Structure 1
């Protein structure tokens, strides 16, 4: 229970009066009928009385325990500093509440939630300890409604109880060759399960995910559900090097589908780990660093694990800062976003035949943020639709302000995320935008990265076909970096292949990349697709593409991304 300090009493008579008062029938009946375990200690530090529930929880009968010091119950798992803090809190606040590990009569250690407070009864002064064995609680226990220490869905400890377990564990003094780790586990893309199948199925998937997590760990490890799709665990280790194998098993457990009611749900898990005492010694720092390591795993592509490192943590903090700034800018500072336009040219005639709209973000404190940073971040944080809204707004504004003149069905290409195609908001946003472009004589074009396009569902592909029927071109961006099969490519509702810049930059007379580009052009010709080469930076690259009969091209050699106003001036002056 607790190691009680010996208190001075004014007189032996006062102490005797207090002990006598504990034997009064009314007091005894009240204490014995209480649903929680109760222990009263006298001011001399000895146990004065325990109730029936105390006997059930600890295994000690009243005649075995009364008169002893509460240290008989100590598990030895808490440091001296733990008890000093407890007493300081008790003296300052007249109460202490928290998780403590104690030992039953049979030697078993167990966690109890303990409240200590002073009481006076019939002239006697006591400290009362009221506790329950939280290890026995389940989500069906009516006491949980008041205590709320367990997650009712998964029946795992919740964040509050986990933090108390972690505090207690961090206070223990282990041999130098022993340590433990905190894991932070986040289920990737769980939101899509709720969105597609409803929260009832989502809850069932979460329950099964909790079972998967528990199945990876060993007896003695502790798992908790912190919130939503976030879990945490305290993992006991013989040596620090074991953590990599544990994390790998955890990430691997979610690389196969989660089965619920004969249906399979494909999730993955990002796992972060922090080691005690290598990375931190306090409970709060351990959980924080495990969280940062988990975020590093997400940044690395998800479905993997990371053990905490200061360097990755610094990068993660930068990403978090950038994410918060992006959210704020999208909501309240649309003026920070603009669009640059990179012309595309017919490689045979040299005429401008279209342009690609490229998003730009300039933050007042962070300065110009690279699209290579903020676009993937918007995808990861579920902000890509809001970013596309800003893209459409900026293009609409530019086309309203600047008349490009007669352009004869010139292409205007925008990039979208494959994940957006399943989002009904995309069609609501793009349909009036494309109609406006077409009325003004532009030909809209959607660019989607090859790797993501290969994973689209039949429903999403049908949406792309519908766009095509309405005169919208569909382009595969970064072609050559994915794994398209000819059969699948033939079935895709696409009109344009954009050759990735890495092949263009290595073009040469006899290079393998020249043969790859030639093969792509052959495939495109067979499937009646148009080809655009990206990243043309030298005359040699341009000449080689012309020799290979590539249709269109864009790159710094011909024109850098520029405001529409500048392109209008060039067109009118030319």
Structure 2
């Protein structure tokens, strides 16, 4: 919602200022329209504008919107903008009227967050474009952020359990929490790492307007308006917060000095009987409360006073600076010529601002933002020069890091896809001029997912860093190695004389290195690459085509058994197109309702009695028909679509079971498979709980199946998550048991109910001694832990009899029934219940298993 209304104040100039106020940021701003707009900042502005005789029209809109309009020149004044180095580049500020610490709000006893140190993997709500938003980005949390328009929107999301924390100014957060009466939300004792100095702001260069606003702001103190507004809006928090108003008002004379125009002399006019020296001594005391370095000079530009922040920042003491002409001071510029130009601008225009670099006393270069102003007395004579320096070294470093991130991979420090493409384009231009060849490798690590799932992402990241280093060591000097995806690398080979032969030689060299284990921390890991190769000019004459065709060749290398390389051929394009088409169709499948669940029963071996079922995902494509999971589940995991698909599966299965229960079918448990991405998803337990509540299914009828690789080696996150799921009352099963770690020590730490023997061990029973030994071991291990053991893929009576003899009571497989669509499964269950034998029914006679 946006709105505009004209104020009734009079202005000598007659100009109407457009004044921007954000929506609903209590107690500073309340309301989302002109009619309801109020709060400390709004009423303080009204008073200051009246004192200064300013006409204005108030505009109320979401914060990010008014900030963009301010930057675009559509708004003249923002009345509640927190100061920051970045914002000083496009805005000038009055003295802060309130300073507030940042705060973290969480749900009580829910999020596991005690401070910012616990933010990893959590979802954090911030107001879009707010200082908290800027701060979170500098901390590297941008992928975790949830952007909202107002504080109320953010707190409602937090209270609902959808997200983990709100990052916001303390007062606005407390007020919003109380207004919404959120009993399940609390303020952490640990503060956030930012503070907000709220000020009125004008666009850069509007110094006269800024001075008039400062005059009006200053007038609100002796009139009692400021104190009254402070008590009205902040009195509730006075005992809990730093009494900013007391510090604030002593800072106002300093702020008026800093803007250096009419506002300064407003203060001086109120103290005309005091000597200028006394005023400067007072200013010097006030200086000590600011973190910006300030130097005040006289009319001849000889230094009169510097503050403590100046000494701390530059290393120069007052004894080394005072009484010296500014241009002869030891605080030397790195670029004297540029500094002289700024001095000329100050003399000419009376004001200068911008980025400068000067030497500290120890010789270190300082990146600074300077605001320098000439100050005139009431007779219009030059009185002083004021220079304010803000340390922007951290900002410059952040900019350097952002530039690095724009061209380099953050983990490995290799060139990223953008820089690789740039270098490839340059190499193509060079090859055209010199009639030389070049090659492009697209390299993917085989089964890298197993490393992440088995050992965790820290080990996976360390492996990627090691691979990056080894690749650089095993290509030629001048070749480019880049990381272009999760476990994908690209290599640019230039100046190839015998193009295909040279490329194959380098590919073999890379393969030979990766045939030996890599040392990653305390582990030795073996991982192999599949490499696709495209050559210039035969396979393409531009960067995009060469990289795409190398990618297509890489898939051929994988199809041939992995751990190899393949050159691009024209036939590969068709397969690549098919893959891209399948991925696009998969992204639409959920939206178009193309997924369906089939259900396969779980039975007692001895009697054939139905005890439960497993929900199995199927994709029914309108053109391609029923697509088996093996063709699309890996792609769903690669693209991250598995999270949304998995949630649909869980909700659909719960709804179906509940519907069958209400229809009078037997009360059966349904097993649903989880993916590793779902289990690692922040707030997954809350998602499961919400689905159970929405569908009305009792937790005891839900069984979640996980694989060994999803949890082994990751007990630090897996155990708490599984325990939380178990606390809901659902059952937990290890699926495909025997194909991974099968570690008794690990299993003891997990709150499991049953394990399922993988079909690969069942299919060779009872004739294979190895398979029989493994099956016995798994059953023995499961029973020793008090777990039920269910074999999958049972297809023959001989298999069922053997499994029964070694202690398995339950089984699942085609011997009993294939997976059926919901309607057919319900009919099959009904037929069994009425003693009409279905075509799928199989049972092993009791005498056969004794």
The reply to whether TM is greater than 0.5 is yes
In the alignment, the residues of structure 1 paired with residue 536 and residue 420 of structure 2 have an alpha-carbon distance, to the nearest angstrom, of: 24
Match of 2:578 among 304, 318, 331: 318
Identify the match of residue 165 of structure 1 among 402, 405, 427.
427
Alpha-carbon offset, residue 180 of structure 1: 4.3
2:775 to 490, 514, 517: 517
Distance 1:243 1:162 in 2: 18
C-alpha displacement of 1:401: 4.7
Offset of 1:385 from its aligned partner?
0.3
Q: Give the one of 546, 566, 573 matched to 1:286.
A: 546
Q: Deviations over 1:176-199 (max 9, x none)?
A: xxx64212356878xx9xxx999x
What are structure 2's unaligned runs of at least 5 residues? Answer: 1-395, 835-850
> C-alpha separation between the residues in 1 aligned to 2:474 and 2:557?
19
Deviations 1:126-155 (A, max 9, x none): xxxxxxxxxxxxxx9xxx9xx99x937769
2:659, 2:665 → 1: CA distance?
A: 16
Q: Check whether the contact 2:431–2:495 (CA below 8 A) recurs between aligned residues.
A: no
Q: Structure 1 stretch 319-328 or stretch 448-457: which is displaced more? A: 448-457
Q: Cα offset for 1:291?
A: 2.2
Alpha carbons 2:599, 2:819 under 8 Å: kept: yes
The reply to whether residue 477 of structure 1 matches residue 735 of structure 2 is: yes
Conserved? CA contact 1:254–1:269, under 8 Å: no
CA separation of 1:152 and 1:462: change in aligned 2, threshold 3 A: closer
Residues 508, 162 of structure 1: alpha-carbon distance in 2 compared, 3 angstrom cutoff:
same
Do 1:536 and 1:557's aligned partners in 2 also have CA atoms closer than 8 Å?
Answer: yes
- Compute the displacement of 1:417 (Å): 1.2
Q: Deviations over 1:423-467 (max 9, x none)?
A: 114323212234567744752111112233324342122211221
Q: How does 1:344-359 map to 2 (within 5 A)?
A: 344-359=602-617
SS state of the match for residue 325, structure 1? helix
Q: Which moved more, 1:434-443 or 1:446-455?
A: 434-443
Question: Residue in 2 aligned with 1:242?
Answer: 505
Cross-structure match for 1:233 = 492
TM-aligned CA deviation for residue 531 of structure 1: 0.6
Aligned residue for 1:424, secondary structure, equals coil
CA contact (8 A) 1:217 1:235 kept: no
Q: Which residue is 1:421 aligned to?
A: 679
Deviation at 1:404, TM superposition (A): 6.3
Secondary structure of 2:671's aligned partner:
strand
Indicate the structure (1 or 2) with the bigger Cα radius of gyration. 2
Q: Is the 8 A contact 1:341 1:355 kept in 2?
A: yes
Whether the 8 Å CA contact 1:251–1:305 is kept in 2: the answer is: no
In the alignment, structure 1 residue 151 sits paired with structure 2 residue 407: yes
Distance 2:561 2:691 in 1: 32
Q: Which residue of 2 aligns with 1:219?
A: 477
Q: CA deviation at 1:532?
A: 0.6
How far does residue 275 in structure 1 lie from its aligned partner after superposition? Answer: 4.6
RMSD: 4.2
| Alpha-carbon separation, structure 2, partners of 1:169 and 1:342 | 60
Shift of the alpha carbon at 1:416?
A: 0.7
Q: Is the 8 A contact 2:704 2:731 kept in 1?
A: yes
| In 1: Cα distance, 2:712 partner to 2:808 partner | 24
Q: 1:308 to 1:431 in 2, by over 3 A?
A: farther
- Separation in 1 of the partners of 2:768 and 2:532? 49
Of 622, 630, 645, which residue of structure 2 is paired with 1:372?
A: 630
1:273 corresponds in structure 2 to 532
Partner of 2:229: none
User: For 1:56-455, what aligned pairs fall within 5 Å after superposition?
Assistant: 151=407, 157-169=419-431, 172-173=434-435, 180-185=438-443, 213-223=471-481, 231-235=490-494, 239-240=501-502, 241-248=504-511, 257=520, 272-276=531-535, 280=539, 282-284=541-543, 285-294=545-554, 306-310=565-569, 314-330=574-590, 332-333=591-592, 335-399=593-657, 401-403=659-661, 410-435=668-693, 439-440=697-698, 442-455=700-713
Using the TM superposition, give the Cα deviation of residue 352 of structure 1 relative to its aligned residue in structure 2, in angstroms.
0.5
Using the TM superposition, give the Cα deviation of residue 299 of structure 1 relative to its aligned residue in structure 2, in angstroms: 8.0
Stretches of structure 1 lacking an aligned partner (at least 5 in a row): 1-139
Equivalent pairs counted in the alignment come to 408
* Alpha-carbon contact 1:449-1:479 (below 8 Å) kept: yes
Following superposition, the deviation at residue 506 of structure 1 comes to 1.2
Residue pair 1:353, 1:410 contacting (<8 A) in 2 also: yes
| Secondary structure, aligned partner of 1:354 | strand
Q: Which residue of 1 aligns with 2:11?
A: none
TM norm structure 1: 0.60
Which of 501, 508, 532 is the aligned partner of 2:766?
508
SS in 2 for 1:163: helix
Cα distance, 1:528 vs structure 2: 0.9
Using structure 2 for the length normalisation, give the TM-score. 0.42
SS at match of 2:720: helix
Q: Secondary structure at the match of 2:407?
A: coil
Per-residue CA distance 1:153-211 (angstroms, 9 max, x = gap) = 7695452342231343266445xxxx64212356878xx9xxx999xxx9x99999876
Closer, same or farther: CA 206–553 of 1 in aligned 2, 3 Å: closer
